[in-house]
Structure 1
Amino acid sequence: MFKMQSRLILSPVSCLRWNQKHSSTKPAKSSFAESMKPMEEFKRNRISKISVVGAGQVGTAISAMLLLRNLTKHLVILDVNYELAKAEALDFQQASAFLGDARIDPCGDGSHSKDSDVVIMTAGARPSGKDRSRLGAMHKTVEIFKEAVPKLVDLSPKATFIVIANPADVMTFAFQRIGNLPKHRCFTTGCHLDSARFRNLIAARLKLPASQIQGFVIGEHGTSCVPVWSCVSAGGILLKDMVQDLACGDDPENWSEINEQVIKGGLAVAKTKGYTNWAIALTCADVVEAMCGGRGKIVTLGTDMQGLHGIEDSVVLSLPCLVTSGGISHVFELPLTDVEEKKLHASAEILLEAQCSIKF
């Protein structure tokens, strides 16, 4: 014989009361929310049209990644050398059947970029002469921006602008000022690439996939960047809890050598190729993909971080940001050590000095 089990049967009225009671119950606000600093002007947008300004090695690589990942159905390749833009667009368009039937338009004067949802700025001067640093080409790139930015903003006033041109942090500051743009809609990929290099180097030591390492590099996208060792984790385990004097003090395992490798990662590639393009292209595509997704992604992006981590001046540098379709919605303040905090402020001072040298 089967044993009958008793069940509690609720009347329709009881069910309604139970649902009303439990659906109205809001979870307590987490103290974690205190680390999330919202961008007050942020609004979500829908992304369909993307313009890439510059058809050089970086701009073309970014275009390729956007198309291969099916992140846009309408791509505009813009370059003052219209014939080059036309050739690159035609090369992609001929294989449109393999790219989700995307529409790719060339442009020489900016007109086809009108009403873009995202504009990616790669155009700028390349370092030359004795000073081949990112800052060395700064003033020439500012002059390019003075001519190009007002028109781009006028044609796409609601767009989100991603600045790739080097020096990325300072050029983002210049772009924001020239275009009179809010900081949540004008930013650089900044240290997102440095963070990827950081994670890759740690993963190689631990013999793990890079995707299983969590860690951030903050500050300048350049020589004064700050790897945040105190927050590095592998499989949910904080590395500092497992390694003695991690990248500081005696550092018996010499983890600090990774800091230098992060800084010189791009130079190692450029020394042979003369430029870098694929890593930054994948970095940019990752940010755009986060913008196209539903709830976004936390990545280290560069924008004006005044007021965060005790930074008193208006200076563009990278911190972990939540990026979604409308740009940056929140910035996260990491629980930095005193040493990391000092390094971040030193990085901010270097960038502030470079910003102050710009003549608008």
Structure 2
Amino acid sequence: MKPLEGFEKPRFPKISVVGAGQVGTAICAMLLVRNITKYVVVLDVNYELAKAEALDFQHGSVFMGDPRIVPCGDGSHAIDSDVIIITAGARPSDKDRSRLTVMHKTVEILKDVVPKMVKLSPKAIYIVVSNPADVMTYAVQQIGKLPKHRCFTTGCHLDSVRFRNFIARRFQLPPSQVEGYVIGEHGSSAVPVWSSVSIGGIRLSHVVKDLACGDDPENWSEINEQVITGGLSVAKTKGYTNWAVALTCADIVQALCGGKGKIASVGTDMKGLYGFKESVVLSLPCLVTSGGISHVFQLPLTDVEKGKLQASADTLMEAQCSLKL
């Protein structure tokens, strides 16, 4: 069939997912099921794996609005992508599941992958999910010479959702009705910002005395530990986490492609904010729009929260400085 003269087929956002492991495949699934895009490239150095995953999706494509799903092994099909999601990296061992222990192996993988992706899609927005996400985002920014508004990590967006979830359970409310953020490292030094938590427009700190500190008779501080260990508790049994991470990533991509934008605690270089004099990638509430991160919001932190955020930044700075870039 020949189209009418002058007809041009509309272009759907082209999204390439680098890494066809548990996380990469789950992200592809969420992008497709939520109808965020009609064009997904599944990229993995193991082409047979990428091909099998893409074929599996294609078999059920009629249930997802007939999307185009393309496997790729060398990166060629990722050319001119609008969004590139990087999930590739080394996995923690069973004995040590720390994100920081695998970063050096992951950096070597990124040194090979990122330059190819940037050459093929120089105008794309890059979302880094590879662990440890904050440090790997710094590495990708440096390796690819990418601007911080177009290269960032989902960071503490997932931690923030967990935070809201645990608080909502206490009040028997839907998590969507709780406002609150976790900032800093997406890891053990993450900082739940209790001073900004609100429900129905009411600050929780105005209602609960010694909220998550001091005497804390209602033991709100246990939520801090639940937020930080939430992923580890899942990985301890499954061996990995993927669904919540995939939903988080899809939520950010929807903000990029949907036109409305979203404020989320995502991570990029925050030099100049909160007194940070050096480049350090960590999460703060950001406005994510079609062009990437347009604004960063500085929450009115308490002195204790400022101290914890600085400690988180110091942890990440130490990790960044140890990278061999």
Return the TM-score normalized by structure 1. 0.86
Matched, 1:235 2:200: yes
Residue 185 of structure 2 aligns with an amino acid whose one-letter code is E
CA positional deviation for 1:98:
1.1
Query: Could you tell me whether the CA contact under 8 Å between 1:142 and 1:174 is conserved in 2?
Result: yes
Q: Which of 299, 314, 325 is equivalent to 1:334?
A: 299
Q: Looking at CA atoms only, which structure, 1 or 2, has the larger radius of gyration?
A: 1
1:291–1:47 Cα change, 3 Å: farther
| Deviation readout 1:62-103 (Å, 9 max, x if unpaired) | 000000111111100000110110010011111111111100
Q: Measure, in 1, the Cα distance between the counterparts of 2:222 and 2:257.
A: 36
Question: Secondary structure at 1:243's aligned position in 2?
Answer: coil
| Deviation readout 1:115-166 (Å, 9 max, x if unpaired) | 0000000000001264330000000000000111000000000000000000
CA positional deviation for 1:177:
0.1
Residue 111 of structure 2 aligns with an amino acid whose one-letter code is K
Q: Which of 177, 190, 202 is equivalent to 1:225?
A: 190
Aligned to 2:276: 311
Q: Measure, in 2, the Cα distance between the counterparts of 1:77 and 1:284.
A: 15
Q: Which of 31, 45, 50 is equivalent to 2:15?
A: 50
Return the TM-score normalized by structure 2. 0.96
Aligned to 1:285: 250
Matched, 1:60 2:25: yes
CA positional deviation for 1:58:
0.3
Q: Which of 90, 98, 101 is equivalent to 1:125?
A: 90
Question: Secondary structure at 1:158's aligned position in 2?
Answer: coil
Higher alpha-carbon deviation: 244-253 or 50-59: 244-253
Aligned to 2:144: 179
Residue 281 of structure 1 aligns with an amino acid whose one-letter code is A
Q: Measure, in 1, the Cα distance between the counterparts of 2:301 and 2:65.
A: 44
Q: How does 1:1-360 map to 2 (within 5 A)?
A: 48-128=13-93, 130-360=95-325
Query: Could you tell me whether the CA contact under 8 Å between 1:248 and 1:256 is conserved in 2?
Result: yes
Q: Measure, in 1, the Cα distance between the counterparts of 2:261 and 2:51.
A: 33
Question: Secondary structure at 1:311's aligned position in 2?
Answer: coil
Residue 97 of structure 2 aligns with an amino acid whose one-letter code is R
Question: Secondary structure at 1:264's aligned position in 2?
Answer: helix
| Unaligned runs of at least 5 residues, structure 1 | 1-45
Query: Could you tell me whether the CA contact under 8 Å between 1:47 and 1:325 is conserved in 2?
Result: no
Query: Could you tell me whether the CA contact under 8 Å between 1:53 and 1:78 is conserved in 2?
Result: yes
Query: Could you tell me whether the CA contact under 8 Å between 1:47 and 1:118 is conserved in 2?
Result: no
CA positional deviation for 1:180:
0.2
Question: Secondary structure at 1:106's aligned position in 2?
Answer: strand
The RMSD of aligned alpha carbons is 1.0
Residue 317 of structure 1 aligns with an amino acid whose one-letter code is L
| Unaligned runs of at least 5 residues, structure 2 | 1-10
Q: Measure, in 2, the Cα distance between the counterparts of 1:47 and 1:337.
A: 44
| Deviation readout 1:34-63 (Å, 9 max, x if unpaired) | xxxxxxxxxxxx961000000000000000
Query: Could you tell me whether the CA contact under 8 Å between 2:183 and 2:309 is conserved in 1?
Result: yes
Q: Structure 1 segments of 4 or more deviating over 2 A? A: 129-132
Q: Measure, in 2, the Cα distance between the counterparts of 1:282 and 1:136.
A: 25
